[in-house]
Amino acid sequence: MRRSMVLAGVLTVATVGLAQGADIQVEDAWSRPALAGGTGVVYLTVQDVGAPDKLTGASTPIAAEAQLHESFVDHGVAKMRDVSSLPVGPGKPVTLAPNGYHIMLMGLKQALKPGDTFPVTLTFANAGAVGATVTVRAGGSVMGHSDMNGMNMSAPMQHQTTKP
Amino acid sequence: MSTSSGPPRSGLVYSAVGLVVAALLLGAGAFVWLNGAGRGGSLIGGPFTLEDGNGKSISDTEFRGKYMLVYFGYTYCPDVCPTTLNELADALDHLGAKAARLQPIFITVDPKRDTPAVVKQYTAAFSPRLLGLTGAPDQIAHVAKEYRVYYAEHRTGPGPNDYSMDHSSILYLMGPDGRFIAPIRADQSGTEMAAEIAKLMS
């Protein structure tokens, strides 16, 4: 009797854990070329189709440390400050993109070249650890306002979805 | 002896000369003001001596006859600097033939970590045309002051290398005579940068 209860409990926890992980979808995780020993970056979009959550950190085996940061310009001066958490919820994705939120990779253990891929683990307050694969891009341009003239903005953008 | 009612002729001559001199001074003043303040001129930029990626001493005079596009940043910057330099490289492509008359220059505000070897590798990744410069702290301080660039360490941890740099983030377009032409925003696309720069290059 006790053993089946334990089993039921384990199964429940496992199912709940899986469901929480599946609520978080990491899309379009990309990085830039970087020098070994130097600093790297990860940009990505997080969709949350489940309960509201918070992105609280990141880690990767290819760098000594990974931190959540925000770039901003203060009276013409570019600054970067660490971010303790980023809220995410249904219909409220969080996007890490150039000149804004990003994951800073410090002490890169390898050079990053276009086409390389590496794993990153995101930590969420509720969902826990969620993994993603990051692709190093050669360019990854910022799209300016004038570049968007003539673009069909009503068509949905194609995302490469990475499920944990 | 004069019986006319008008002023003596010598007085007229002096007044005329005075007016001409005043006009010349005003004109000269306007010229200086327009070049000094209206289009930046001597208020931004100036002579510098720095070190290139091979440790060789480089003076600003090497670039006379070419436009310079100068950006101050640091190689341990994860986001703003790579983003800007990536767009700058893109801008060079969009400039076409004009790019040959433009020298893009990256000057580090973090000479402690950005040694010549580091700077050389860093800039090469964005474009073979991008020249990376570093130097002794006082050389960097001097050129930053001339370009009115603010930069400061922001500590991020207890270790000696645990810091990021706050820094002015603007591209400076300098003319073939070395004088400042205009600032170019760093946070825009390469296409937008190229359009602005092309308009300013004669």
Boundaries of every domain in chain A: 2-160
Q: Is B159's pLDDT higher than 70?
A: yes
pTM of the model: 0.80
Is the pLDDT reported for residue A149 higher than 60? Answer: no
Question: Does residue B158 sit at the A interface (CB-CB below 8 Å)?
Answer: no
Provide, for chain A, the percentages of residues in helix, strand and coil under a 3-state DSSP scheme, each rounded to the nearest 5: 15, 50, 35
- Residues A95-118, mean pLDDT to the nearest whole number: 97
Residues B17-45, mean pLDDT to the nearest whole number: 65
CATH T-level topology, domain A2-160: Immunoglobulin-like (2.60.40)
A62 CB near a chain B CB, below 8 Å? Answer: no
The band of B35, judged by pLDDT with boundaries at 50, 70 and 90, is very low
d(CA B107, CA B103): 13
- Are the CB atoms for B124 and B82 separated by under 8 Å? no
Could you give the ipTM of this predicted complex?
0.78
End-to-end CA distance of chain A: 35
pLDDT in tens, A71-99: 999 999 999 999 999 999 999 999 999 99
Angstrom distances, CA of residue B31 to CA of A7, B1, B146, B183: 88, 45, 22, 21
Query: A20: pLDDT confidence band, cut at 50, 70 and 90?
Result: very low
Q: How many other CB atoms sit within 10 Å of the CB of residue A129? A: 14
User: Judged by CB atoms within 8 Å, which residues 43-72 of B form the interface with A?
Assistant: none
Task: Tell me how far apart the terminal alpha carbons of chain B are, to the nearest angstrom.
Answer: 62
Query: Is the CB of A72 inside 8 Å of chain B's CB atoms?
Result: no
Sequence-ordered strand ranges (E) for B6-144: 49-51, 57-59, 67-73, 102-108, 131-133
Task: Choose from B83, B84, B93, B110 for mutation: most chain A CBs within 10 A.
Answer: B83
Which of A131-145, B102-116, B177-191 has the lowest average pLDDT?
Answer: A131-145
Task: For residue B173, name the pLDDT band (cuts at 50, 70, 90).
Answer: very high
B150: nearest Cα among A39, A111, A92, A78: A78
Structure confidence at residue A142 as a pLDDT band (50, 70, 90): low
Over residues B38-46, mean pLDDT: 69
Interface test with chain A among B71, B79, B81, B118, by most A beta carbons within 10 Å = B79
Q: Is the pLDDT of residue B41 over 80?
A: no
- Residue A143 pLDDT greater than 60, yes or no: no
Instruction: Give the rounded percent of residues in chain A with a pLDDT score beyond 90.
Output: 69
Q: Do B166 and A69 touch (CB under 8 A)?
A: no
Contact A35 B125 (CB under 8 A): yes
A 2-61 → B contacts, CB under 8 A: 32-35, 38-41
Query: Of A161, A118, A129, which Cα lies nearest the Cα of A31?
Result: A118
Residue in B closest to A37 by C-alpha: B76
| Average pLDDT value over all residues in chain B | 90
pLDDT for residue B157: 85
Are the CB atoms for A37 and A111 separated by under 8 Å? no
Whether the predicted pLDDT of A160 surpasses 50: no
Query: Which of A62-66, A96-100, B37-41 comes out lowest in average pLDDT?
Result: B37-41
pLDDT grade for A144, boundaries at 50, 70 and 90: low
Confidence of residue B180 (pLDDT cuts 50, 70, 90): very high
Confidence of residue B8 (pLDDT cuts 50, 70, 90): low
Angle at A133 between CA A125 and CA A26, to 5 degrees: 45
Nearest CB among B78, B154, B190 relative to A141 is that of B190
Mean pLDDT of A38-50: 97
The total number of residues shown for chain A amounts to 164
